[in-house]
Structure 1
Amino acid sequence: MPKRAKSKPTRKLKTYQTSLGFYDQAIAAPSMKAALEAWGASSNLFHQGAAKETDDPDIVAATLAKPGIVLRRPVGSDGPFTESAELPTDLAEDDSRPKRKPGKRPAKTANKTANRTAKEPSRKLDEQAARKAAAAFEKEERRREAARRKEEAARAKERARRDKAVAAAEAALDKARREHEAKAEEIEAARAALEERAEAEETRWDKQRKTLEQALRRARE
């Protein structure tokens, strides 16, 4: 009886947060590396102190509801994280306002969160909800991977089409060059033959002319 394949263990998701450009960003991912890839970061924001893991219940709940998807909110705000966030309303005052250090929560927000946490019991997802969120993340990963493979296949197809067109153009050029060289050789051979005939004709005429001139002189004597 064939053995049944073991199911792949579900990876536990964590919520990570950073600030990039005009937005705070958060995502539910199995690792810091996965979070950095989803953010499109070119450097390790966690080592730089610009990103962190968060246990804020509201942020955790929002990201686990849409695992693998980057959620945003205007930088410096304490609003909810969503897939489409508006730009900050105070961009014009950014130059005069002190910059908030990455990874640190404003005092007002921290106090507000602390009060809310003290009043409300911490919410924990049960094992079934965690598995569902992890499965959704893996589904999103597979969708991104499929899209990447589709793009690579399209690029490979375009390269093959371009290579085929280049090969056809080069073959046509080589054929035309060979035909030209063959015709040029024929013309050169014909020119050489004509020159040879012209020289022979000059030799014949010179000999005939001398004979006729001698006959003319004898007739005049």
Structure 2
Amino acid sequence: MPRKRSRKLKTYQTSLGFYDQAVAAPSMKAALEAWGARSNLFHQGIAKQTDDPDIVAATMAAPGVVLRRPVGSDGPFTEHAELPTDLADDEDKPRSRSRPKSKSKSKPKKRPARIATKSSRTDDDQDARRAAAAFAKEEQRRESARRKEEAARAKERARRDKAVAAAEAALDKARHEHQARTDEIEAERAALDERAEAEETRWDKQRMKLEDAVRRARE
């Protein structure tokens, strides 16, 4: 029997609330389920597939686990991320009536592009295969648990059906016995009625004969 090939995992990224979120999943649908999204974020342009090697490496190390980082930052994705620092600073600072002068923001330095060598691509492929294998193993575990639960439910149904069949058989047996006894009593009652009728007929004949004898004796 041919082995079922495991689906290759991909890394998907989105921004929800105060966090950027990323997850390694076999499909966009699986990623939306992991994020708990109620709408298609990909169609809305809020989510996308990413090939960033740092993000891919982080998600592939924990397939199916949603990783986060403060929104707008370029830090690493982790399972437990803190709130954005600018949000925390805004909460701590008192609000001023006068609006401070805006300062020109310096453009962030672009990170140098990483040159993918044959060795790094091989390592990435190995990591991707290991992550896909881990995801497939977790799916197999869930499937095995589901089959065990279904087998337990089937066993319970069989036990209940057997008990019901035994109770119905006992009821049918008792019903037949009751009917047999009722028929026997009815037969005995019919025989008694016949004997009683024969006795009445005999008595009528005897009574009439004796009454004639009494009448003749009085004459």
Q: What is the TM-score when the length of structure 2 is the normalising length?
A: 0.66
Over the aligned positions, Cα root-mean-square deviation in angstroms equals: 3.8
**1:1-221 matches, cutoff 5 A:** 14-19=10-15, 24-29=20-25, 32-33=28-29, 35-36=31-32, 38-39=34-35, 44-54=40-50, 58-64=54-60, 66=61, 68-73=63-68, 76=71, 78=73, 80-85=76-81, 115-116=108-109, 118=110, 120-123=111-114, 126-221=120-215
Structure number with greater Rg is 2
Instruction: Provide the C-alpha distance between the structure 2 equivalents of 1:22 and 1:182, rounded to a whole number of angstroms.
Output: 76
Task: Render the CA deviation track for 1:127-179: whole Å, top value 9, x for unaligned.
Answer: 13212221222122221221122122112212321231232023213312320
Instruction: Provide the C-alpha distance between the structure 1 equivalents of 2:32 and 2:187, rounded to a whole number of angstroms.
Output: 79
| Percent of residue pairs bearing the same amino acid type | 38
Q: Which amino acid aligns with 1:162?
A: E
Instruction: Provide the C-alpha distance between the structure 2 equivalents of 1:157 and 1:9, rounded to a whole number of angstroms.
Output: 25
Q: Secondary structure at the match of 2:207?
A: helix
Q: Secondary structure at the match of 1:15?
A: strand
Deviates more, 1:71-80 or 1:202-211: 71-80
Unaligned stretches of 5+ residues in structure 1: 91-110
Q: Secondary structure at the match of 2:14?
A: strand
Mapped contact 1:29–1:137 kept (Cα < 8 A): no
Q: Which amino acid aligns with 1:212?
A: Q
Unaligned stretches of 5+ residues in structure 2: 88-104
Instruction: Provide the C-alpha distance between the structure 1 equivalents of 2:200 and 2:81, rounded to a whole number of angstroms.
Output: 103
Aligned residue pairs: how many?
190
Deviates more, 1:76-85 or 1:181-190: 76-85
Task: Render the CA deviation track for 1:61-110: whole Å, top value 9, x for unaligned.
Answer: 4224x1523233377474642234578998xxxxxxxxxxxxxxxxxxxx
Q: Secondary structure at the match of 1:18?
A: strand
Mapped contact 1:67–1:134 kept (Cα < 8 A): no
State the shift of 1:47 in Å: 1.4
Mapped contact 1:22–1:87 kept (Cα < 8 A): yes
Mapped contact 1:57–1:122 kept (Cα < 8 A): no
Q: What is the TM-score when the length of structure 1 is the normalising length?
A: 0.65
